[in-house]
Each structure stands twice: as C-alpha cells, then as structure tokens.
Amino acid sequence: MAKTLLLKNADILVTMDAERREITKGGIFAEDGLITAVGQTKSLPTSADTVIDATGQIVLPGMVNTHHHLNQTLTRNLPCCQNKNLFAWLQLHYPIWTRINPEASRTSALIGLGELILSGCTTVFDHSYLFKSGNQVDIHIEAARDLGVRFHASRGSMSLGKSLGGLPPDESVEEENFILKDSIRVIDRYHDASFGALTRIVLAPCSPFTVSEALLKETALLARDKGVMLHTHLCETFDEERYTLERFGKRPLEWMEEMGWLGPDVWFAHAIHVDSEEINIFARTGCGISHCPSSNMRLASGIAPVKDYMAAGVKVSLGVDGAASNDASNMLMETRQAMLLARLRMGLRPPEGPHRYSQLSQSHPLRSSEWMSAREALELATLGGAKVLNRSDIGALEVGRCADFFTLQLNTINYAGGLSDPVAAVIFCAPQSAQTVVIHGQKIVDNGEINSLDMAAVIKEHNTWSLRLLKGS
C-alpha cells in the first residue's frame, strides 16, 4: 500500500512549474515519495499517513547544491587562511586535509549536510578528492543515507603532485591506476540512474593544476562508458589561467576541450574568467555551471558573468562551495548572494561590468535585463540545479516529480515589513532556518530540528576532530 503525505494550508506555495505558479492556500499530495497532486488545499485529499499543516508558512521546492567540499567543515575560519587567495589558501590546507581519517570525515559530512538541509537544500553534490588516511567516498554516502538527503557523490581525484608540476604536495595525491580502479568500484556499487534516485556518482578530477592530461582523458572515457556525469573546477582564478597558458599554451577552457571535457554530461564550478566566445562554447556544448558567489568573494577570485550565461542559454546552478571557503553551507544565503553579486557587477566599469550601456543609470529600461531578480535567483537554486545535474525529477513542485520541499515561517522578525511579496522576501531578507524539510516524501526536519540524527552529539565530536587535525595529532 502506498505511503502518503499531505501538506496543506500554505500561505503561498512556490511551484517552479512551467507556469511558475505561486498558489495561495496551497498544498501537495504525494504517494511513495512522488507528487500526485498540487493545488489549493480544498482541491486535495483530506487525509494521509503524514499530514503537515503549513499555515503561516511559505513552501518552496527543495534547493539543489551543485558544488561543495564537505570535509572542509573541519577547517573553517583558519586564522592563517583568512586573507589568502585560492592557491595560497590551498597550499595551507592540503597538509591538514591529507590527515582526515574516516571518523573525522563522517562527522564533517554530517555537519555540512545538516547545515544544508536546515537551509532548505534537499539535493547535494559533494566534490571529494582527498582520500588519504583511510578516507573514502563510501563514508559520505553512508552519512547522506543516515540523514536522508538526496546525494550526488564524487569519486574525485588528485594525481599531480608538486614534483610533477602540480600544486598539491606529493603526499596528498593518489596513483592514477588506483583512482580509475576505485572509480569503477564506486560507480558499480552505488550509482543509481533510476528516476527519483537518492544516490548517484560523479567522476570529478579536482582541477587543471592537480591532475594529469592522461587522467582527465581516461576519466572522461570511463564516465561516458558508465553513464555518469563529469565535474571539475575551471576558470576560477587568474593563477589557474596563467598555469594552463604557461604549461599547455592554452586557456583553461581550450585545454579542457582538447581533453574531451565538453558536453551536456559536464558541469564546471566557478567559471569566472571567461570571454564571450567561451560563454557561447558552454551554451553550444550544453555544459553546466555551478556559480559559487560567497567563495568567489571570500577568496577574491572575481565575479562570474551569470546574467551573460543566462542570456546565452547556459545551464546555471548554485553551489555553496567548500565550507572553508565560504565559510557556510547555507543555500538560502548563497541564493541571496548570487542575486546581490550580479547586481554589484552592474556598477562596475568595463571590462568586468557592462559594455554597451555602462553610461546609463542602472535603472534605465535599456539595462533591465542586467538585473538579477529574487525569483531568477531562486530558480537557479532549484530548477537550475536540477538541469545542471540532468534531472527531471527534482527542482519543482509538480505532478510526477519527487516530493522534495521545505517550508519557512513567514511571521518572523526576519520578514517583518517584507510580506507584500513573500516569495521575494525569502531572498531579499536575512535567511532563516527551515521549519520543515521533506525529501522523497520523508520528513527530515520537523519544527526546525533535524529528526533523523542526534546532531548535538555530532557537533561535539566534529569539534573534537577539528581541533585534533589543526594540532596535527
């Protein structure tokens, strides 16, 4: 017999469906984790196995985080790294991350995933690429299953140590034959390509400056043979651009194209330093982008041309990035930052800012398309993430999709005075924690608390591991 769920009486329900309906007194009915009805509460069944009364609340599709490094929760806010750009920041972190053991890794995953869930995130991609001290992808997959989150796990990799011209120290990298062999193991054991899957695997070499050309090419061939997606960092900093120009005589995207890394099964994190031709290449080949505004500001990396991507038809999503380069795992905050950073770009002079109408007021009608609206930002965080991950089963609240959603209380101090447009208030006003989170029809957060695990005990253990890692013990 089907397990049913009814959400009813929402002040407003944001569907993100094809008509972008926002339904007052809205509700959802789901069976076995899939939505079977969406509309006003009066049009829905009156009972279910699980009933959620969303009176006084707004309901939104579960957010999709397309770039993260869960283990980095262990090294947030390190004093030595607070004022460093990416390469220097990485070089200070590599020795610490290399020591992360299975126990510490599990707590870091639980903390990062828990923080994301409480911010309305129901689908998480994690880019793990350091597997020393017994750390494995399996640990994060188990943590995600314990919490009940929809999870895309990467079998990432670093193989190019400093002695071979890479950035990381030699003790942080793995042997390439082992990487490929273990990638096959992880895909065969965990990847679920079915509709509504809770676990999928992605192959994700770390970056142009941490892996060899051979590994990039072999990984792409393996991923396509196995039917999984590909991901890496790209065009994040000027240091990276100088690296590929000096080492290969090509800009980062040119080089990745030569490696066979363009197509609808690929998405890149950051993609900040690109020109108009490269934007068109992303659009033409179907590559996706994970925009990480907080990390890009924190590390002084730059501002990604997100509105230009959107105008060109590039698939764009949002990622909170590593919890040590943000230093948070909060999708509502990241969505707000995406909107604000796109607006900041409007105030810059060329070449970073607008070209054609830069002398006109930002409020001039000819510049209206440059504005990132609250609803556009929300779409990046929901439907945008689903499109980048090539999923038609998440990202919106409509019949046939997964019952992944979250609710926020509206009558709070955060939104006071802003309820003339509750949907925009969620993005314009200060982020708050979710009241309820449902993933595949299962209530994961109830009354603002994660109910699947004792998070207080996890926090205590996590802080113990964090301090031990920093002390080198």
Task: Quickly list DSSP for 229-262.
Answer: EEEEEES--HHHHHHHHHHHSS-HHHHHHHTT--
> Mind listing the pLDDT tens digit for each residue in 205-254?
999 999 999 999 999 999 999 999 999 999 999 999 999 999 999 999 99
Long-range contacts of 80-86 (CB under 8 A, 24+ apart): 81/324, 84/299, 85/237, 85/239, 85/299, 85/300, 85/301, 86/236, 86/237, 86/239, 86/240, 86/299, 86/301
* ∠ CA 229-276-286, rounded to 5°: 25
What does the pLDDT read at residue 132? Answer: 84
Judge whether 14 and 423 are in contact, CB under 8 Å: yes
pLDDT in tens, 362-402: 999 999 999 999 999 999 999 999 999 999 999 999 999 99
Residue type, 424: A
pLDDT in tens, 67-83: 999 999 999 999 999 99
Residue 356 has pLDDT above 90, yes or no: no
CB atoms closer than 10 angstroms to residue 1: 6
Q: How many CB atoms lie within 10 A of CB 365?
A: 9
How far does the chain reach from its first CA to its final CA, in angstroms?
A: 52
The string of DSSP codes covering 176-230 is HHHHHHHHHHHHHHH---STT-SEEEEEEE--TTTS-HHHHHHHHHHHHHHT-EE
- And the tokens for 8? 């009813």
The pLDDT-based confidence of 2 (bands split at 50, 70, 90) is: confident
**pLDDT at site 473:** 57
Element spanning 340, H or E? helix 331-346
Instruction: Inform me whether the pLDDT recorded for 201 exceeds 90.
Output: yes
Please check the confidence at residue 92 and state whether its pLDDT lies above 70: yes
Q: For 382, which DSSP code?
A: I
Backbone angles phi, psi at 125, to 5 degrees: -105, 130
> CA distances (Å), 449 to each of 98, 107, 312, 453, in order?
33, 18, 41, 10
Cβ neighbourhood burial of 17 (10 Å; 0-12, 13-18, 19+) = middle
Spatial neighbors of 272 by CB under 8 A, at least 6 apart, are 235, 236, 237, 296, 301, 302, 303, 304, 305
Half-sphere exposure of 249 (CA within 13 A, CB side): 0
Please state, in angstroms and rounded to a whole number, the distance separating the CA atoms of residues 389 and 200.
Answer: 10
Q: What pLDDT, in 10s, does the model give residues 131-189?
A: 988 899 999 999 999 999 999 999 999 999 999 999 999 999 999 999 999 999 999 99
CA distance 410 to 464: 36
Question: Which secondary-structure segment (H or E) carries 89?
Answer: helix 86-98
Whole-angstrom distance, CA of residue 317 vs CA of residue 203: 18
Rounded mean pLDDT of the chain? 96
Give the pLDDT confidence score for residue 364 in this predicted structure. Answer: 92
> 0.85 cut: is pTM over it?
yes
Report yes or no: 240 and 209 within 8 Å, Cβ to Cβ.
Answer: yes
22-31 and 34-40: which strand pairing? antiparallel
Which two structure tokens, joined as six digits, stand for 231? 């991901």
